[in-house]
Structure 1
Amino acid sequence: MLNSKIKYSQFIKSEAKRLGFLSCGIAKAGFLEEEAPRLEKWLNESRHGKMQYMENHFDKRLDPTLLVDGAKSVISLLLNYYPTHKQVSDSYKISKYAYGQDYHFVIKSKLKELLYSVNENIGEVNGRAFVDSAPVLDKAWAARSGLGWIGKNSNLLSKQVGSFFFIAELIVDIELEYDLPVTDHCGSCTACIDACPTQAIVQPYIVDGSKCISYFTIELKDNLPQELKGSFNDWAFGCDVCQDVCPWNRFSKPHSEPLFSPNPDLLSMTKKDWEEITGDTFSKVFKNSAVKRTKFEGLKRNINFLKE
C-alpha cells in the first residue's frame, strides 16, 4: 500500500510538471484547526470589508471533506505568472497576474487534464478542481504541502521562486504520500509592511483586506474613499507592492505559459492612453483578461481617482 501511495504521488507530480506547473505538493485532507480561530477573528474584525462572500461557507473553508465526499488528499499546485516584460514607466499599473488571459480558465483546463490523467493511470478517483473560486484556503493548503510558507504579507513565499504564482488544488478521495511543511524564512524583514501604500498589513502576517489597494480597485463597487487620494501609487487594478519589495522575489523567473503573455498594446500604454481609453479599446486589450472583473466603468473610476 505504501509503495502505491509513493508511486501515485510521483506520477501526479510528474504530470503536474508536464502540464507546466511550477511545483506540486500533497497534504492529508482534514480540518484546518490552526486556521479556524484566525479566520473567525479576521472576519469578526471586518478585515474583509464589503466582501460578504468571505462570510459564507465557513465550515467548508476549513474542511475539504465537506467539498469532496471521502476526500483524503489535497494536491496543491503552483503556476508561475511572472512576466518577461513589464508596463512602461509612465503608466497606470495593473497587477502582473492580470497581464495575460484570466488565470481561472487557463488553470482549470490544466487541472481537468491532470484529473483525467489520474483517472486513466491510477484508476477511478473522485475529485474536484479548485482555482480561487470556491471556499478553499489555498495558501494554507499549499503551506501544509511544503510549497512555501505564508509570509508577513500573507502571501505564500518560496525560497526557490518567490511569490509570483497562482495556487490551485485538486481534492481527491485517495490516500497519497504527504509532504512536510517548510519553515518560515521571513526572519526580521519588514519590507512588505514598510512599503504598503495604505498600511494594509496591520501587523506581521495579518492583512486588513478592507485597506488593500487590490480590494479598492477590484472588489469595492462604491466610490473610492477620498481620504486615500494620492496613496494608490498609480495602481489602477490590483497592487504588487508587497511582492515587488519582497527579497525572495529576486528569485522570480519569467513564466513560459503563452496564454499569460500580455497584449502588446497593454505594455506600451501611457497614462494618457489610459485616461483616454474607450470601451472598444478596453474590450480589445483586456479580452479574456481578469481585468474584466472590474468592468470598463470600474476601471474608469479607478483612473479618474488616480488622475484628479
Structure 2
Amino acid sequence: MGGAPASLTRGLEACAYGLGFDAFGVAALGEPATRPHFDAWLEAGRHGTMAYLDGAGAELRRDARQPHPGATHAVVVAASYGGREPSGPVARYARGDDYHVVLRERVRELHRWLERELGHPIDARPYVDSGPILERDLAQRAGLGWFGKNTMLITPRAGSFVFLASLFVSLELEPSAPFEADRCGACTRCLDACPTGALPAPRVLDASRCISYLTIELRDGIPEPLRAAMGGLLYGCDICNDVCPYNRKFSKELSEDSPFRPRPFLDGVPSRELALRVLGMGVPEYT
C-alpha cells in the first residue's frame, strides 16, 4: 500500500502531460503558507472593489480543505497559453477559446482516469480560476514554480504565461516537493515597467491600480489619473510578464491546433479599430 500513492501519482502525471498540460504536481490541502500576506493585502484594501475576495470568500481561502469538504489533496496543473505572440490591446490569455471550458474538461479527464485506474468512483472537484482558493500558493506547494516579483507564478517549463487548474480529491496521493527557490534575484524589471504603479514593492500587487483590474473587474469608471498610462490596452495587460527575463527564456510558441490561438476578430487589430468593432456589436455577435 505504501507504494500505491506514488505509482498512482506517476500515472496521473503521465496522463496530465498527455492531455497537454505543461506542469504537474500534487499538494496536500491545508492552511496556505501565504495566508498572513493575503490577510495583510485585504487589510490594506489592495483588492479594490473585488468584495468576493473578502468576508466569506476570504474565510474559505484561508484553508484549502474548506471549499470541497472531504478533499485531502489537490492535483495541480499548468497549461501554457503562449507568450511569444505580439502584445496588443487584449491580453494574450483572452484572445482564444475560453480557458475555463477548455481546461475544466482536461481536468475532468484526469478525474475519469483516476476512476478507471482504481475501479471505483472518486469524490473530486475541478477548479479552473473558479473557486475560493489561493491557486498560486497551491501551485508553489505542488512544486510548479515560484512567485515572481509581479506576484505571478513563474514555471520553469513555460514562464508565467500559464493557466493554473486543479482537481481536489478525497484520495491519498504522494505530495510533490514544494518549489522553494526564489530565482528573481535583484531583478525589478516588472516593477519598473508597470505604467500605473500597481507593483509598489516586490510581490505586492495593488489591484486597484492594475490595468487588468481596471479593464475587467472594475465596474465604475476608470480613475482619470490612471487613464493616460493605460495607453491602448482594452482588456487585461501583459506588460509585467513581457519584460520578465524568464518569460523570454521559457514562454512557448502556440501550436497550430492550440485552442488558445487568437481569434481572427482579435488577431493583430489596433486598439481603436477593435474598440469600434466591439462597440458596434449586437447581442448575437457578442454572445
Per-residue deviation, residues 19-42 of structure 1 (Å, max 9, x unmatched): 11111101111122x322211111
Per-residue deviation, residues 117-161 of structure 1 (Å, max 9, x unmatched): 111112432111001111011100000011000111000012332
Per-residue deviation, residues 77-106 of structure 1 (Å, max 9, x unmatched): 00110156436xxxx611100010111111
1:233 Cα offset (Å): 2.9
Q: Please tell me whether the aligned partners of residues 209 and 226 of structure 2 are also in contact (alpha carbons under 8 angstroms).
A: no
Q: Please tell me whether the aligned partners of residues 25 and 142 of structure 2 are also in contact (alpha carbons under 8 angstroms).
A: yes
Q: Look up the match of 1:212.
A: 210
CA distance in 2, matches of 1:178, 1:76: 10
Decide which of 228, 231, 237 is 2:229's aligned counterpart: 231
Q: Look up the match of 1:9.
A: 9
1:229 Cα offset (Å): 2.5
Q: Look up the match of 2:115.
A: 119
Q: Look up the match of 1:255.
A: 254
Give 5+ residue unaligned stretches, structure 1: 288-308
Q: Please tell me whether the aligned partners of residues 29 and 74 of structure 1 are also in contact (alpha carbons under 8 angstroms).
A: yes
Q: Look up the match of 2:178.
A: 181
Aligned residues: 282
Percent pairwise identity: 36
- Single out whichever of 35-44 and 277-286 deviates more from structure 2: 277-286
2:87 counterpart of 1:108: no
Amino acid at match of 1:108: R
Q: Please tell me whether the aligned partners of residues 234 and 271 of structure 2 are also in contact (alpha carbons under 8 angstroms).
A: no
- Structure with greater helix percent: 1
Amino acid at match of 1:113: E
Q: Look up the match of 1:306.
A: none
Amino acid at match of 2:219: K
Amino acid at match of 2:127: F
Amino acid at match of 2:14: S
Q: Look up the match of 1:153.
A: 150
SS in 1 for 2:74: strand
Per-residue deviation, residues 231-268 of structure 1 (Å, max 9, x unmatched): 01321100000100000001211233532122223213
4+ long deviations beyond 4 Å: 278-287
CA distance in 2, matches of 1:271, 1:155: 25
Q: Look up the match of 1:137.
A: 134
CA distance in 1, matches of 2:15, 2:204: 35
State the superposition RMSD in angstroms.
1.9
Amino acid at match of 2:264: P
Q: Map 1:49-88 onto structure 2 (within 5 A).
A: 49-55=48-54, 56-82=56-82, 85-86=85-86
**Relative to 1, partners in 2 of residues 1:244 and 1:47: Cα closer, same or farther, differing over 3 Å?**
same
1:4 Cα offset (Å): 0.3
CA distance in 1, matches of 2:286, 2:174: 41
Per-residue deviation, residues 164-209 of structure 1 (Å, max 9, x unmatched): 0000111111111111122110000000000011111111111111
The normalised TM-score by structure 2 is: 0.92
Decide which of 94, 97, 121 is 2:93's aligned counterpart: 97
